[in-house]
Structure 1
């Protein structure tokens, strides 16, 4: 039994019991072959929820420090993050973005599902922020379709992205998947910054439509820094 199957068997029933997740449009995610899932990022558990509701394992980038602990707690965390599809990458320094891009390409070349949050970080206030163009570079480099998705209510379950998820009445979550987006019309234009921005904005427009969030034409990292 794979770690992913075991993780779903252990935590899937708890997710359904406490949060009764509503999943819409799951049929839009291909059952085989490479695909990019691109969505909003509200809280730390988004990637866990995404894997629990998905029929296929979704791989995504995570901080290398999440899996380097040598204590018992650190080893348990490493097992858990690996089970939910996290690929550790050192994102610090000037080469972090390139490493993440190359990791995504490798996952897709293997015919798997790669998840990405174009905002680049969790939303600081529940609004949807401007997307980074890495999503555009990845889809144009690989000619792989993008399925937009929206996490709804996860920030109410885990406010601030910290601590254990809260359970209780009214804390329901939803995951919505949109129609696949095909950008093959831009073949060979993955170095054109105007094309990269247009592709990224199209993805974010679909995420906004699915999530119902207010859109802010600024990078979330700059808002957090301020």
Structure 2
């Protein structure tokens, strides 16, 4: 892909890929669409999120596009033996839960990656969707804050089929037979209407709505059906557990 640098795929990353990719290929067949939509240099990839297996698939999609993925990951994962060491070694970014003061500002940490022209994956929903039919729910502000404050494009992404490998909220992997997983990238979301607006909650909310609409349209294409007109809002259902990048 144009603009991709070989230096991103370090020896450590390649060693990790030799472990992870064979497993991914064991459980799934992956079809990637619109890989050419990914810009050169820094960008934020904003995917839908409905399975705890999603990050592996999203990371693999970027790897196949010639890029190395970085995530904003729950800080608690960095304290897990072995996993924490891998996360630190691969430059992942710890995000503390709401109400905590430990750790660095994740937006500041992400901006350092942006300065180096790297790809950062941010799940705008902040957690697995609560929508009963697994459509994208109301988004949080982290992705658009990073985009508007640093002038970084947001590329929407949708995938479908991962739920057949690991259902939502489940810990039981379905390995055989191999499952079909489709991944599609979209055009960078046009956030220019909000670029020069005051950085307020209303601005972030409107921009986040545009991002979630882009993701939903891509998922509609993959699923071959229309999403509900009303987006699932966790706050209206008494579900308020989100990460630090909410608002």
TM-score, length-normalised on structure 1?
Answer: 0.83
Relative to its length, the structure with more helix (as a share) is: 1
Aligned to 1:111: 117
Tell me, yes or no, if the aligned pair for 1:44 and 1:161 is still in contact at 8 Å. Answer: yes
Are 1:205 and 2:205 an aligned pair? no
- Secondary structure of the residue that 1:159 maps to in structure 2? coil
Aligned to 1:165: 173
Per-residue deviation, 1:221: 9.4
Tell me, yes or no, if the aligned pair for 2:45 and 2:155 is still in contact at 8 Å. Answer: yes
Structure 2: distance between partners of 1:83 and 1:221: 39
Structure 2: distance between partners of 1:207 and 1:121: 15
Are 1:68 and 2:79 an aligned pair? yes
Aligned to 2:36: 27
Q: How many residues align?
A: 220
Cα deviation, 1:41-98, whole Å, max 9, x if unaligned, reads 11112112111221211211112221223xxxx12x22444466532222231668x9
Tell me, yes or no, if the aligned pair for 2:156 and 2:187 is still in contact at 8 Å. Answer: yes
Any runs of at least 4 consecutive aligned residues in structure 1 with deviations exceeding 6 A, and if so which? none
Tell me, yes or no, if the aligned pair for 2:93 and 2:110 is still in contact at 8 Å. Answer: no
- Structure 2 residue aligned with 1:87, among 80, 88, 93? 93
Structure 2: distance between partners of 1:57 and 1:218: 32
Structure 2 unmatched runs, 5+? 1-9, 221-226, 242-247
| C-alpha RMSD over aligned residues | 2.8
Tell me, yes or no, if the aligned pair for 2:135 and 2:216 is still in contact at 8 Å. Answer: no
Structure 1 unmatched runs, 5+? none
- Structure 2 residue aligned with 1:100, among 99, 102, 106? 106
